[in-house]
Amino acid sequence: MLKIEHLTKSFATRNAVSDISLSIPQGQMVGIIGRSGAGKSTLLRMLNRLADPTSGSIYFENRDIAKLSGKALYEWRASCAMVFQQFNLVGRLDVLTNVLTGRLYHHGIMSSMLQMFSASERAFAIKALDRLGMAHTALQQADTLSGGQMQRVAIARALVQQPKILLADEPIASLDPLNAKIVMDALRTINREDGITVLANLHTLDTARTYCDRIIGLQDGVLVFDGPPEKLTLEMAREIYGAEAEEAFSEGMTSTALAGVPAKERLTERDLQRHSDMSMS
Ligand SMILES: Nc1ncnc2c1ncn2[C@@H]1O[C@H](COP(=O)(O)OP(=O)(O)OP(=O)(O)O)[C@@H](O)[C@H]1O
């Protein structure tokens, strides 16, 4: 069980995350939604301590994660893996070595520096790649892969950490729809088969609805919705995304599009349909 109590992160002029309390049972798949700047990344980054909370607590199996330091913090980061929108692979290294870097958390400093991996670790890494349908690329240089393939390798790297929690910060925001589906399917498989809790920041509401057991909605750093997808009404979704009542609101719209463009300039579904009709004629 991951338990967050009154978690707050303040920057100079504002709270990015404001007094959030939540309990997440092991094995849940949770989607975090909200418009751009709502605090989604800051919340995830606090969970694996890439950012330190200003106040509040994060408990996992009764340990206060917000207070860990040194070796204990390193161990926590091993059990709380993270994947990012930009994949964060080392492009000039081969895929297998990239995946094996996920094992460095389990090594001492010396063997980490020498990148010494045992035969069983290599086999484990290949198995992780195989689960993601990527074993055939093991010896390929990482920067020759497509974005979707890179994200699958990044997930394999997270898997070899043998995490209890997987944090995914906009894992499909840079991918085309087909690759986005492959990556989300992979996250759900890992969640269901391995019992790993998945917390994913998702920039479209329809993805969160399709894949998640539970949706958490943030608005200006404040928790404004917490429940199963079927409880998230259109009105609530509009409120979370700050969409105005008169405009067409599509669940496939991205949080960035909703936050970045003045309402009058945003494309409605009707505009998009008209555009595709025109391109086809
Ligand atoms: N290091 C920082 N220093 C100052 N302000 C920051 C910092 N990191 C985030 N913020 C601010 O905190 C707020 C929340 O940012 P955050 O990146 O968590 O939002 P988000 O919901 O993940 O947005 P996006 O979807 O665009 O990534 C924003 O107003 C952002 O500008």
Annotate 24-74 with DSSP letters as a single string: E-TT-EEEEE-STTSSHHHHHHHHTTSS--SEEEEEETTEEGGG--HHHHH
For ligand 1, the distance from its centroid to the CA atom of residue 37, given in whole angstroms, is 5
Which pLDDT value is given to residue 106?
76
Contact between 225 and 40 (Cβ < 8 Å): no
pLDDT above 60: residue 216: yes
- Report the alpha-carbon distance of residue 177 to residue 172 in Å, rounded: 9
Mean pLDDT (whole number) for 104-111: 67
Q: Read off the pLDDT band of 197 (50, 70, 90).
A: very high
Which segment of 104-113, 188-197, 239-248 scores lowest on mean pLDDT?
104-113
Domain extents in the chain: 2-280
Q: Read off the pLDDT band of 234 (50, 70, 90).
A: confident
For ligand 1, the distance from its centroid to the CA atom of residue 236, given in whole angstroms, is 22
Higher-pLDDT residue of 245 and 242 is: 242
- Which CATH number applies to 2-280: 1.20.58.110, 1.10.3720.10, 3.40.50.300, 3.30.230.10? 3.40.50.300
For ligand 1, the distance from its centroid to the CA atom of residue 41, given in whole angstroms, is 7
Q: Read off the pLDDT band of 249 (50, 70, 90).
A: low
Probe residue for ligand 1, chosen from 8, 9, 10, 11 as the CB with the greatest number of ligand atoms within 8 Å:
11
User: 218 to each of 14, 45, 203, 226, 265, how far by Cα in Å?
Assistant: 15, 15, 12, 9, 24
Q: Read off the pLDDT band of 244 (50, 70, 90).
A: low
Q: Which two tokens stand for residue 1?
A: 């069980």
Mean pLDDT (whole number) for 208-224: 96
| pLDDT above 70: percentage of residues in the chain | 85
Q: Tens of pLDDT along 132-158?
A: 999 999 999 999 999 999 999 999 999
State which ligand 1 atom lies nearest to the alpha carbon of 44. Answer: 18
Report how far Cα 144 is from the mean position of its chain's Cα atoms.
23
State which ligand 1 atom lies nearest to the alpha carbon of 9. Answer: 12
Mean pLDDT (whole number) for 245-268: 55
- Report the alpha-carbon distance of residue 19 to residue 12 in Å, rounded: 17
Contact between 30 and 223 (Cβ < 8 Å): no
Which segment of 127-141, 163-177, 236-250 scores lowest on mean pLDDT?
236-250
Q: Tens of pLDDT along 200-210?
A: 999 889 999 99
Q: Of the ranges 99-113, 205-219, 254-268, which is most confident?
A: 205-219
Q: Which residues line ligand 1 (CB under 6 A)?
A: 11, 16, 34, 36-42, 255
| pLDDT above 90: percentage of residues in the chain | 69
CB under 8 Å to 88, separation ≥6 — which residues?
154
Which pLDDT value is given to residue 178?
92
pTM for the full predicted model: 0.86
Round the average pLDDT of the chain to a whole number and report it. Answer: 87
Higher-pLDDT residue of 262 and 100 is: 100
Higher-pLDDT residue of 281 and 244 is: 244
Distance linking the first and last C-alpha atoms of the chain: 55
Higher-pLDDT residue of 49 and 103 is: 49
Using CA positions, which residue lies closest to atom 10 of ligand 1?
16
